[in-house]
Amino acid sequence: MYFFVTLQQNNHTFASNKVKKFVLLLTSFILLLCACKEDIDTSARYVFREETILGYLQKHDDYSEYVKLLQLIPISPRSKSTVYQLLSARGNYTCFAPTNDAIAQYLQDQVDAGFIEEPSWESFESDKIRDSIMKVVVYNSIIDGGDEEFYQTMNFPQNNNDEFGRANMNDIKLSVYRPKNPDSIYINRIYPINSINRDILTINGVIHQMEKVIAPREVTLKTILQEQLDGYESGFVVMARIIQACGLMDTLSKIRDEVYETLYQTNMITEKTPANGLKTMDGGYSYAPEHRKYGFTIFAEKDDFWQEEIGKPAEDITPEDVQSWVDAHDYYPEAEANTDFKSLDNMLNQWTTYHVLPFKLAPDRLVFHYNEKGYDYVGSPGKLSIPVMEYYVTMGKRRLLKIYESLESNGVYLNRFPVIDNARHGSGHEIGCDPSKVGARVMREVEDLDKRTALNGYIYEIDAPIAYNEETRNNLARTRIRMDCMSFFPEVMNNDIRRVPLTDARHQWVHFPDDAEYKYIGNLSINEGSTFVYYNAYNYKFGSLCGDEVKCVGRWELVFTLPPVPKRGTYEVRYRILTNSDRGIAQFYFGDRLDAMPAAGIPVNLTLGGVDPITGWIEDTGTDDDADAEADKQMRNCGFMKGEESILILKNPGTTARANVNRNIVRRIVTRQTLDPDKTYYLKMKSVLDTETAEFYMDHIEYCPKEIYDNPEKPEDIW
């Protein structure tokens, strides 16, 4: 729930008359809507005669004030049931229960802040404000685990600043912090859990006694940046100033799409739908996202860096000073060094927007570790192996930012380009890194990150400057860029859909409205009548990159907006196929004009993969490298490649996608042509079958430059 936040007017163009009809109702509905988590299923719940969370709290006087609040607060605006009743019912709840002393101190904090005159609930100037604050206390204290789980301390996230998989009832994800004292655990770094009264198990969940009321600030990144400018906080004043100069502050104030919110709450979005033909689906249904939130991540050099470089106190450094510094370092020689900072052609704008992503990336979601070779996500999730990386498109002028982590990197880095042991029989590990290619480390475990955590994103300190200069572009242009298709879509990260660590059907099978119902994903066009589904296969033994994939059924015709290439040059664009008999046959189209995209080759049978003789798939000998390389060459001549040596097939321990003898993983070379970084390219897939049930499937896309795939001295690696 978001209190004291100005709602943003959304400028969507609606794709159907049904949507247009309801836009006029938006203003009246907004006042009734609340972003609190409202999917609490009270069906089939019953009261246990044995001790529940509520029963325990009632038996202990330390929680009497908390129990009173539970009796007053409804589960949601649409329910007459109270949270008091909820905690007496069947379920899996994690309850961070504040003591009477904690609530008294919270009220005193409101006095000290000047909000009320006396430390009592009767002191609030209106019932509406009092009730909203009570909801903050109650909703922030409870995580509803549905039919899945509750969180004992042994199951808390392991790394400092990492978040719980589920949001609390206030729709906020809480994080965990463990100082050096092993008995101390904090929520969001500032709310201590009692060292004795924790992990109190009950029939319907677990209780952790809190020494302070959990009440994270519900602010946007704009507010956090404005506090830097106004002098209430320090450390990132220069970044705040140049973001303001580039006209990004209003964008960074956006929280959610209120039009979608209204349509979903009024049942104009199909919330639950059968997905014909998706046979692996539990129950045969997929679920629409509850919200369409916005999110952002800012990577920022600290004021200390700027003070040393420019030679002025941070409060005296101007946007012109920063632009002059950027110009002196020749980072963006093609940009215009004028004072039109809001122009995409302006030098300061290009510098600043390259630091901002339209994705909300939590500390544990900067990269995803799952099935990279040598990694055991079940037995040793904290022990890293070979490199993993993500490529995201920044704000402003479209450019790629690489996020990287490996065992050897000792942290997450931006634009790191190390030497990898990627020989045919190599280890796949990082074996060295030139000092000029180390990149910028993301300081994701620093103690003050909570001060830069907003409802709609994060500001991370980085230890070195980043720029999309010639060197960065050259490094990217010498890289095979492998991108999970879900990294194309900010919406799936901002709405906690991609690779959320949950296994219930609602979080594993998520469908997105087609364009006629509502254009939910900006970089994807879904034709009317198709059911486009994201499969979050968390905890399943999948061979997909990151353990997730997308499917679609119906007479699908899908258009993906692709990320930009780093430099003008000749590239292969590849599409990874994990085939089975449920798939369909797709005709690919590729080009930079939506109204005139030429077909890319003949239709591709997504059911056969390497089993199809047309691919030329031959099992590796493992001993004759020349023969194996020749087989790879012949397969490429057919327009295909084997799967990747770097990705494990977890159902077959130790087996990589390349060595998969089932031959159901191949990479299709969609096109080979000259691409321009200033053009936007699209990939369209269209079903050629006369059926509603044949699946579309997509996992990841590769851009491979000619320097790699056609290098006579060093053939492309198998990783």
369 and 501, same domain (yes or no): no
The residue from 454, 477, 500 where one domain ends is 477
Domain end residue (candidates: 178, 210, 242): 210
Q: Average pLDDT for residues 319-327, to the nearest whole number?
A: 98
Range in 283-287, 323-327, 360-364, 484-488 with the lowest mean pLDDT: 283-287
Classify residue 262: in a domain, yes or no. no
Q: pLDDT tens digits for 452-509?
A: 999 999 999 999 999 999 999 999 999 999 999 999 999 999 999 999 988 888 898 9
Q: What is the pLDDT of residues 615-674, one digit of tens each?
A: 889 999 999 999 999 999 999 999 999 999 999 998 888 899 999 888 889 999 999 999
Note the pLDDT of residue 661: 81
Same-domain pairing of 513 and 658: yes
The pLDDT score that the predictor gives to residue 511 is 94
User: Scanning the structure block, which residue is given the tokens 């007479």?
Assistant: 555
Domain span at 626: 481-709
Tokens of 251: 């964008």
pLDDT in tens, 141-167: 999 998 888 999 999 998 899 999 999
* Contact yes or no for 262/25 (Cβ under 8 A): yes
Question: pLDDT tens across 511-521, in order?
Answer: 999 999 999 99
Residue 423 sits in the same domain as residue 490: no
DSSP secondary structure letter of residue 611: G
Integer Cα distance of 319 and 380 in angstroms: 46
What are the structure tokens assigned to 268, written together?
Answer: 């104009």
421, 536: one domain: no
Question: Model confidence over 509-562: pLDDT tens digits?
Answer: 999 999 999 999 999 999 998 999 999 988 888 888 888 999 999 999 999 999
557 lies in the same domain as 588:
yes
Judge whether 686 lies within some domain.
Answer: yes
Pair 473, 485 in one domain: no
Q: Cα(119)–Cα(209) distance, rounded to whole angstroms? A: 22
Q: Which of 473, 536, 512 is nearest to 676 (CA)?
A: 473
Judge whether 650 lies within some domain.
yes
- 492 or 37, which is more confident? 492
Q: To which H or E segment does residue 321 belong?
A: helix 319-328
pLDDT for residue 652: 83
What's residue 280's pLDDT?
A: 53
Q: Domain containing 495 — which CATH number?
A: 2.60.120.260
**How far apart (Å, rounded) are the C-alpha atoms in residues 587 and 605?**
9
Same domain, 436 and 490: no
Domain shared by 507 and 609, yes or no: yes
Distance of CA 93 to the CA centre of its chain: 25
Residues 6+ positions from 31 with CB-CB distance below 8 Å = none
Whether the per-residue pLDDT at 450 is higher than 70: the answer is: yes
- In-domain check, residue 531: yes
Q: Which of 166, 186, 210 is where one domain is finished?
A: 210
Structure token pair of residue 622: 């493992």
Q: How far is CA 419 from the centre of its chain?
A: 28
Do 524 and 669 sit in the same domain of this protein?
A: yes
C-alpha 368/C-alpha 361 separation (Å) is 11
pLDDT computed for residue 579 by the predictor: 85
Q: Are 601 and 554 within one domain? A: yes
Whether the per-residue pLDDT at 30 is higher than 60: the answer is: no
At 115, which CATH number? Answer: 2.30.180.10
**Domain for residue 593, yes or no?**
yes
Q: Is residue 323 part of a domain?
A: no
| Residue 717 included in any domain | no
- For 550-598, the pLDDT digits (tens) are 999 999 999 999 999 999 999 999 999 888 888 999 999 999 999 999 9
Both 526 and 668 in a single domain? yes
Average the pLDDT over each of 236-240, 376-380, 473-477 and give the range with the smallest value. 376-380
Residue 387 covered by a domain: yes
pLDDT band at 275 (very low <50, low <70, confident <90, very high): low
How much is the pLDDT for 7? 29
Structural domain count of the chain: 3
Q: What pLDDT score was predicted for residue 9?
A: 33
Pair (511, 653) in one structural domain: yes
